[in-house]
Amino acid sequence: MLEINDLYVYYGPMCALRRIKISVAEGEVVAVIGANGAGKTTLMKTISGLLEPDRGTIEFMGRDIAGMSGHSIANLGIIHIPEGRGVFPEMTVLENLEMGAYIFKDEAVTRQTLEQVYELFPVLEERRRQKAGNLSGGEQQMLAIGRGLMGRPKLLLLDEPSQGLSPLLVKNLAQTIEGLHKNQGLNILLVEQNVKMALEMADRGYVLQSGEVILEDSASALLENKAVREAYLGV
């Protein structure tokens, strides 16, 4: 589904990503883990068209999307839920969700998708007329995911979804993401600093360090890898 080869991204003279080779097959959840500054968010922004690569290819369903505009990539079915949630605080919950469906002209499709989001996150229906800025952190994360689902993604890019959430909310979030994959067949590329959570729900994983992929394996193998456990799990 997604094939990234020999990807380089620069910020001015600084190389933020180099020689990146990552793939997501149909039916997979793939995790990208690494410390702060490893290049994880840069990777997600480049895939979704917010940044333009300096070199390399990003193929989605057989089409090279490297350098395409963000809205064109969203139209193809790649939906990016950014780090920090990025909700529109002065807009209502419903208005935020409707923004996620801007690419659809069919109101019946939008209504149907909205009902599906409300079924997944009932609190969003209860608070649909509240301003998004008044929601708790967990509710804002639900809203960010719900808004992404309104775009009916083929591939969902999740950037640090557990950031700032309590352990209980992180557990609930993990269950939600697993449900989206198993029950709705959603393909997911997940960037997370909560390494244990990410690898427990993923099929495969990549370790990013200083802008390079230094390790790739099944998620279960990475969980047992001594270097990964010492660096990211503290054991």
Q: Distance (Å, rounded) from C-alpha 195 to C-alpha 216?
A: 14
* The pLDDT of residue 12: 92
Helix (H, G, I), strand (E, B) or coil at 232: helix
Q: Mean of the per-residue pLDDT values for the chain?
A: 92
What are the backbone dihedrals phi and psi of residue 91, each rounded to the nearest 5 degrees, phi first? -95, 155
Q: What is the mean pLDDT of residues 51-64?
A: 96
Which structural domains are found in the chain, ordered by start?
Answer: 2-233 (3.40.50.300)
CA-CA distance, 50 to 118, in Å (whole number)? 29
Cα-based torsion angle of the residue sequence 67, 69, 74, 77 in order, rounded to the nearest 10 degrees: -30
What is the tens place of the pLDDT at every residue in 128-149?
A: 999 999 999 889 989 999 999 9
At 115, give phi and psi (nearest 5°). -65, -40
Structure tokens at 112: 């149907």
The Cβ of residue 181 has, within 10 Å, a number of other Cβ atoms equal to 20
Task: pLDDT band for 24, please (50, 70, 90 cuts).
Answer: very high
pLDDT 10s digits, 79-127? 999 888 789 999 999 999 999 988 777 788 889 999 999 999 999 999 9
